[in-house]
Chains A and B, each alone.
Chain A
Amino acid sequence: MTNRAVPDAGTQIEIYRRMALIKANDERSRKVIMTGRLVMPYYSPRGQEVIPSAISVNLTDEDYVCTIYRGSHDQLAKGLPLKDLWAEVAGRTTGTCKGKGGPMHVTYPTKGIMVTTGIVGSTMPIANGLAWASQLRGDGRVTVANFGDGAANIGAFHESLNLASVWKLPVIFVCQNNEWGEHTAYDKTSNVRVADRAAAYGIPGERVDGNDPFAMYAAAREAIERARAGEGPTLIEAMTYRFHGHVFGDQDAYMDKERKARAMADDPVPRFRARLIADGVASEEQLAEMEAGIEAQIDEAVEFALASDFPGVEELKRDVFAEELN
């Protein structure tokens, strides 16, 4: 494609910073679980760092995002503070949801992180409602609904894309196609590209290399601009690859070893890092310093989380309704 938006140098570095943060946070999460310091259901986003990083630099804190159980990359890219995340996944009262949501239900409205769902396909119907609110108010906000390729086969996908199309909602449907729906390969569950389904709803659909920050940035920017301009929804199918099994502890024997090795050898994070240096956008020292800073922030967040208190049992009666239960 020609004449597509290209991120400027500062934006490229910011995309990389978000990618590096997601990668480092994933590596630390797996380490903390492995060493027994924390028990949690963990769905690694490793390999999918580019997608939310390149999307979110086109968003503001006022824009909304909905994501899924494999969602820490989407949350961090949208600006969720590390301490709030770590305390939440550790089930502590200092967590963003007071420890009552956990890794599958992280919520942080301050940065527009409105819903994290553990139900496949359920970001889309709710994202439509957020987008409908923006349309009613005319506030120019957009909503990004993230979901996996597996969710493209659930009824909510069809209902949501159809409604968004008919109502011309300012929503961007981002299918992060990591080739796997739990343990089953995408090509065993669908005969068509996810992006091609957009035609069925009369909306633009684009398959993009979700591991290429430039391609992802351009696709996201165009979709976001369309939505802000009141031109309706877009479906983006961002092609990527899940480096690990469905959930932490899954031995991923069902994943083709050669394909996986190839994907990991083409890791998008070091690839983009090398490009930034080769293009003279950033220096090795600059990026090393950034990465060290991220590690230090994660160190601090993990220690903060593990030193925080667990919520008291009185929380069982709170937040069920506005009024505390008897």
Chain B
Amino acid sequence: MATQTAAKPAKANILQAINAAIADAMEADDNVVVLGEDVADPEEGGVCGVTKGLSSRFGDARVRSTPISEQAIVGAAIGASLVGFKPVAEIMLMNFTTVAMDMIVNHAAKLRFMSGGQTHVPIVIRTMTGTGFASGGQHCDYLEAWFAHTAGIKVVAPSSPRDAYGLMRSAIDDPDPVLFIENLPTYWTPAEAPEKDHRVPIGKANLLSEGNDVTIIAYARMIQEAMPAVAQLAEAGISAELIDLRTIAPWDRDTVLASVAKTGRAMIVHEAVTPFGVGAEIASVLNEELFGKLKAPVKRLGGAFCAVPFSKPLETAFAPQTADIAAAAKALMA
């Protein structure tokens, strides 16, 4: 999965899109630097090669592989950002953010507020996750709700190459810390290639398909599960509207509320476990804002409340699938 050097292809995958976004940002601004485990070329640009080619192109000073020291990685990113750099730090897997929570939650997210706006932390923390590769309980959790629950950090989770590119550029431009969640199993799925310098605004959802009966709100890999469900529902005479949230914090209330005001029915789908999750927050806001207009209780569809299991049938059953989404939508119509 080397960086494209020839004419831009019509197709690209998410991995290539993220690589291109970081490269374009580094080209545009010398203050953009990259650090993390294995990120430089002698270490193959990361375990999946997302940052491959960057250290060869921009130099070892700006793209630095680090020891396996998550607190030191995020701390170094924070410190450099306080004085004008725009670090893109990789915490390889989302589960490993747990070893750097003090740096992320107590420092990156809070320094702007606690300093009364004298300092700020324009960092991007890239992290990958997602079920599907049989990696068991500590390598594929979706922990976005933990960060969305923290004031001062933005959380994005793109589902396509175009959005991955556009959100990465916006995240690097952003004056505040952004957690950039990459879905590992869908890194290599080709789709429409992004244009250079394209931006997707943080906080804006994407209406993927219009419908009148039920609104399905999803993000990351769940979009790939929801798309066929929308087609199946159409065959069954149910018109479903699909919203790709793209940004989890701050989420696009306007788009979601407008859609649910129209359809009267809503379902939130995520890979993270259901209790206390993003779905619970959105359902609560829908209840507060649209109580009289809802035709059915808001539905949450999330991962099972257990550690991600290893055994293939269990792992498959852990996260919502197309059939689950279609069945839940039909139940909302009943």
Query: Which residues of chain A have a CB within 8 Å of any CB of chain B?
Result: 64, 95-101, 105, 107-109, 114-115, 117-119, 122, 124-133, 136, 143, 155-156, 159-160, 162-163, 166-167, 318-322
How many residue-residue contacts, CB under 8 A, span A and B?
A: 144
A95 proximity list for chain B (CB < 8 A) = 116
B119 at interface by CB-CB < 8 Å: yes
Residue of A whose beta carbon sits closest to that of B112: A319
B75 and A128 contact, CB distance less than 8 A: yes
What per-residue 1/0 map shows which CB atoms of B22-43 lie under 8 Å from chain A?
0000000000010000000000
Residue of A whose beta carbon sits closest to that of B89: A129
How many angstroms between the C-alpha atoms of A166 and B75 in the bound complex?
15
B72 at interface by CB-CB < 8 Å: yes
Shortest A61–chain B CB gap in Å is 13
A98 and B117 contact, CB distance less than 8 A: yes
How many angstroms between the C-alpha atoms of A107 and B114 in the bound complex?
8
B328 at interface by CB-CB < 8 Å: no
Given A125-B103, A131-B79, A320-B112, 4 more contacts at CB 8 Å?
A109-B82, A119-B107, A162-B72, A167-B64
Question: Can you list 16 contacts pairing A with B, beta carbon distance less than 8 Å?
Answer: A64-B83, A97-B114, A98-B117, A101-B114, A105-B114, A107-B111, A107-B114, A114-B83, A115-B111, A132-B76, A133-B80, A159-B69, A159-B71, A159-B75, A163-B76, A322-B120
Residue of A whose beta carbon sits closest to that of B110: A105
Q: In the complex where A109-B119, A320-B112, A320-B151 touch, is A133 in contact with B69 (Cβ < 8 A)?
A: no
A126 and B75 contact, CB distance less than 8 A: yes
Shortest A141–chain B CB gap in Å is 9
B114 and A155 contact, CB distance less than 8 A: no
In chain B between 42 and 79, which residues have their CB closer than 8 angstroms to a CB of chain A? Answer: 61-62, 64, 66-67, 69-72, 74-79
B152 and A125 contact, CB distance less than 8 A: no
A122 and B107 contact, CB distance less than 8 A: yes
B82 proximity list for chain A (CB < 8 A) = 109, 114-115, 126, 129-130, 133
- Shortest beta-carbon contacts, A-B, top 8: A129-B79, A125-B75, A98-B116, A97-B116, A107-B115, A159-B69, A159-B72, A105-B114
A128 and B176 contact, CB distance less than 8 A: no
A320 and B83 contact, CB distance less than 8 A: no
A125 proximity list for chain B (CB < 8 A) = 71-72, 74-76, 78-79, 103
B175 at interface by CB-CB < 8 Å: yes
B77 proximity list for chain A (CB < 8 A) = 129
Q: Which of B80, B113, B120, B152 contacts A129 (CB 8 A)?
A: B80
B70 proximity list for chain A (CB < 8 A) = 159
B107 proximity list for chain A (CB < 8 A) = 115, 117, 119, 122, 126
Q: Which of B61, B116, B120, B151 contacts A99 (CB 8 A)?
A: B116
B74 proximity list for chain A (CB < 8 A) = 125
Shortest A315–chain B CB gap in Å is 8
Q: Which of B61, B75, B83 contacts A124 (CB 8 A)?
A: B75
A96 and B80 contact, CB distance less than 8 A: no
B310 proximity list for chain A (CB < 8 A) = none
B183 at interface by CB-CB < 8 Å: no
What per-residue 1/0 map shows which CB atoms of B87-109 lie under 8 Å from chain A?
10000000000000011001100
Give the interface centre of A143, A318, A321 by most chain B CB atoms within 10 Å.
A321
B81 at interface by CB-CB < 8 Å: yes
B5 at interface by CB-CB < 8 Å: no
Shortest B124–chain A CB gap in Å is 14
A114 and B119 contact, CB distance less than 8 A: yes
B84 at interface by CB-CB < 8 Å: yes
Residue of B whose beta carbon sits closest to that of A167: B64
Q: In the complex where A132-B80, A166-B67 touch, is A107 in contact with B75 (Cβ < 8 A)?
A: no
Residue of B whose beta carbon sits closest to that of A126: B79
How many angstroms between the C-alpha atoms of A159 and B3 in the bound complex?
32
Shortest B30–chain A CB gap in Å is 9
B83 proximity list for chain A (CB < 8 A) = 64, 114, 130, 133
B71 and A100 contact, CB distance less than 8 A: no
How many angstroms between the C-alpha atoms of A130 and B83 in the bound complex?
7
Residue of B whose beta carbon sits closest to that of A104: B114
A127 proximity list for chain B (CB < 8 A) = 75, 79
Shortest B333–chain A CB gap in Å is 33
B118 at interface by CB-CB < 8 Å: yes
Q: In the complex where A101-B114, A322-B176 touch, is A122 in contact with B80 (Cβ < 8 A)?
A: no
A126 and B114 contact, CB distance less than 8 A: no
How many angstroms between the C-alpha atoms of A99 and B69 in the bound complex?
34
B111 proximity list for chain A (CB < 8 A) = 107, 115
A322 and B113 contact, CB distance less than 8 A: no
Give the interface centre of A100, A119, A125, A156 by most chain B CB atoms within 10 Å.
A125
Give the interface centre of B72, B102, B176 by most chain A CB atoms within 10 Å.
B72
Q: In the complex where A97-B115, A105-B114, A163-B72 touch, is A320 in contact with B85 (Cβ < 8 A)?
A: no
B75 and A129 contact, CB distance less than 8 A: yes
Residue of B whose beta carbon sits closest to that of A129: B79
Residue of B whose beta carbon sits closest to that of A66: B79
How many angstroms between the C-alpha atoms of A271 and B120 in the bound complex?
42
A96 and B116 contact, CB distance less than 8 A: yes
How many angstroms between the C-alpha atoms of A215 and B69 in the bound complex?
34
B175 proximity list for chain A (CB < 8 A) = 321-322
What per-residue 1/0 map shows which CB atoms of B107-147 lie under 8 Å from chain A?
10001111111111000000000000000000000000000
Shortest A103–chain B CB gap in Å is 11
